[in-house]
Structures are given as structure tokens and as C-alpha cells.
Amino acid sequence: EAFGDRSLSQGLSVLVGLGLCVTMLGLGCAVELGQLGQQLRRPVGLLLALLGQFVAMPLLAFLLALIFALDEVAAVAVLLCGCCPGGNLSNLMSVLVDGDMNLSIIMTASSTLLALFLMPLCLWIYSRHWINTAVVQLLPLGAVSLTLGSTLLPIGLGVLIRYRHPRAADLLVKISLWSLLVTLVILFILTGTMLGPDLLAHIPASVYAIAVLMPLAGYALGYGLATVFKMPPHCRRTVSLETGCQNVQLCTAILKLTFPPELIGGMYMFPLLYALFQSAEAGLFVLVYKMYGRDSVKQDTLGEEEDTDISYKKLKEEEVPDTSYGTVTTEEHNSIQMEPTQTAL
């Protein structure tokens, strides 16, 4: 009933829409045309984004919904979150774990563009299990595609700003990351206020369990996928974060802008819970890396430097003085005598 309040509902819709536009603008500002050209010549990032975001995560969401026997409303919310492309949180986390930033940005941008076609397709395929329910029959795949298409404009504008004004683009990237945090906090507060003190009682324990397990499993699947492709450790960390981090702002926008208000209350909390737990688990990932992983990386780097230094010392020790012109000998403390030597021709 709270979501039926027209003024509150409209205000929330405006907030979600603006937050999504700023996020997509920041994503576009992080993309460089030169990087896109390199990825088109060797599209590893594109392939990993395809497999991670539109094969592994939708299947994972579907299996978790079946295992926990979710009702159709919660199942659609879980599926929608699982079919979303990657989010900007992964770019920030990749920096903190010394990942491959070019790969991270390309994977996020690629999955966002692929979502225009693949997200509605994945939703249609995996929602067949609940096809006889009202919420699935109301699933607005056309509106989902329209919402995804509307994100292309801020992304394209961001790419143009990066090309024309790199410094302004760097500033907008930082603003978009802060807006992501601020928007999620405001959404938590507003949703909690609108749904009232019985909010926790209306969310099944199974939904909390999936919100905890789904990003964690996504991180593990991404790391395994990068291992299969025999990528170096810093790229494995990047792919792991890219796979587990979903664009929850896009998910909340689709839920809010495309579903009837009387159905939104039960579904709206899942992407917010997912955002909470994916951030917390990614933070633990970063903490573990800072405590243990970085030391091993430094040791490997120092080992390489020591090997290079030892090799250099050996080369210096093995150098033979050139005596083709003569040798210098010291017979007394203050006398130096030059002994000529003959050079064989």
C-alpha cells in the first residue's frame, strides 16, 4: 500500500532514474575508444562478460530460486537481478585488488551493451517455470528492453566526454561512484520508511540466504572461469569481481518503472539486499587481498628483481679485463709502472 502512494512512488521513480543515468554516464566516461579497438581485435573481455553475466549468473539465479522454492514474486526479482549486466562497483573493487582496470571497464561496458538483447532473452527462458503465474504473465519484456535502450544515451555521452575532455571524464567517473553509494543508502531509507516496521517480517529467510549466497557464488564462478582461460592472477581477481557484482541500480529501475505498484513492494527489496551483501563480500575480498595477497605479489616482484641483480653481478664478475694495450702493476707504494704487452696479429 505504501508503494501505491502516488507522490512517494513518483519521487522514488525520479531518484532511481537519475541515479541510473549518472551511473551509466560514469561508465561511458571510463571507456576509451582505443581500448574498445583493442578488445575488438582480441575480444577476451567480451567473451568473459558474455559467459559470466548471461550464462553463469542467470543459471545460478534460476537454480537458487528452485532450491529455496521461492514464490513467483521473489523468483522474478532474483531472476531479474541475476540477468542484469555488471555494475560500477566492480571497477572500484578492481582498483583496490590491483586488478586489470582495462579488462574491468571493458567487461562492464560489454555486458551493458549485450544486456539490450540478452537480458530479455534470459528472463523469457528462465521465467518459463512460473509461466502460469500472474506476475510472469505481466513480465514486461518490452519495457525492460526500452529501459536498457535508454541507458545507451548517457553511455554514449560519457564516451564522447572522455574523447573530448579527459579531465572532466575523470571527475564524472568519481561522481558516478559516489552517486552509486548515496543512491543505495537513500533507497534503503525510503524503502524502509514506506514499508514500515514490518519490513523484515515480510522478507522470507530464503530471500536473505539467496542475497548472501548469490554474489559469493558469482565471485567463485568468475574466478573459475578466468582460471579455465588461463589468465594471470590479477585478471582472475578482476573477472571474479565483474561476475559477482551486478548493476543493482538497473535492477531497481526496472522493478520500479515497469511493474505495477501493487506488486513492487515484495520484489523491491531483493536488489537492495543484494547490493548490501555484494558490497560486504567484495569488501572482505579486498581485505583478504590487502592482508595476504599483496605480500605474495610483492615477494614475487622482489624475487624477480633479486634474480636480475644476481644475474647482473655474475656478468660483472665474469668480465675479463682487456689487456690488449697493456697492464698496470704497482711495485711500490708511490710508483706505478706500465708493462707493455704484445698483441698477436
* pLDDT tens profile 30-48: 877 776 667 667 788 889 9
Residue 216 has pLDDT above 90, yes or no: yes
Over 50: is that where the pLDDT of 50 sits?
yes
Question: What's the N-to-C CA distance of the chain in angstroms?
Answer: 105
Q: How remote is the C-alpha of 325 from its chain's centroid?
A: 66
- Cβ-Cβ contacts under 8 Å for 179 (sequence gap 6 or more): 19, 22, 23, 26
Domain for residue 135, yes or no? yes
Q: Is residue 329 part of a domain?
A: no
Classified as helix, coil or strand, 338 is: strand
Return the minimum-mean-pLDDT range out of 95-104, 259-268, 316-325.
316-325
Structural domain includes residue 310: no
Q: How far is CA 54 from CA 28, 119, 228, in A?
A: 21, 7, 17
On whether residue 60 sits in a domain, the answer given is: yes
Asked whether the CA dihedral 234, 165, 161, 34 is positive or negative, the reply is negative
Neighbours of 120 (CB within 10 A): 19
Structure confidence at residue 197 as a pLDDT band (50, 70, 90) = low
Mean pLDDT (whole number) for 111-118: 88
List pLDDT tens digits, range 135-161.
777 777 777 777 777 778 888 888 888
Whether 269 maps to a domain, the answer reads yes
What is the span of the domain harbouring residue 215? 44-143+192-291
- Is 112 within 8 Å of 155 (Cβ atoms)? yes
**Predicted pLDDT at 317:** 53
In the prediction, which pLDDT does 8 show? 61
Q: Does residue 39 belong to any structural domain of this protein?
A: no
259 occurs within a structural domain: yes
If one counts the domains in the chain, the total is 1
According to the model, what pLDDT value does residue 343 have?
45
Element (H, E) at 329: strand 327-330
pLDDT of residue 300: 46
Q: Where residue 6 falls among pLDDT bands split at 50, 70, 90?
A: low
pLDDT at res. 333: 47
Question: CA dist 293 to 97, 216, 226, Å?
Answer: 9, 19, 17
Is residue 206 within 8 A of residue 55, CB to CB? The reply is: no
Specify the CATH number for the domain of residue 119. 1.20.1530.20
The model's confidence at residue 310, banded by pLDDT at 50, 70 and 90, is very low
Q: Kindly report, residue by residue over 250-305, the tens digit of the pLDDT.
A: 888 888 777 776 676 667 778 888 888 888 898 899 898 988 876 555 554 444 44
Q: Tell me, what's the pLDDT at 7?
A: 59
**Does residue 198 lie within any of the structural domains?**
yes
Q: How many CB atoms lie within 10 A of CB 13?
A: 14
Q: Angle at the Cα of 15 (from 215 to 249), degrees rounded to 5? A: 20
| % residues pLDDT > 90 (the chain) | 20
- What average pLDDT does the structure give for the chain? 77
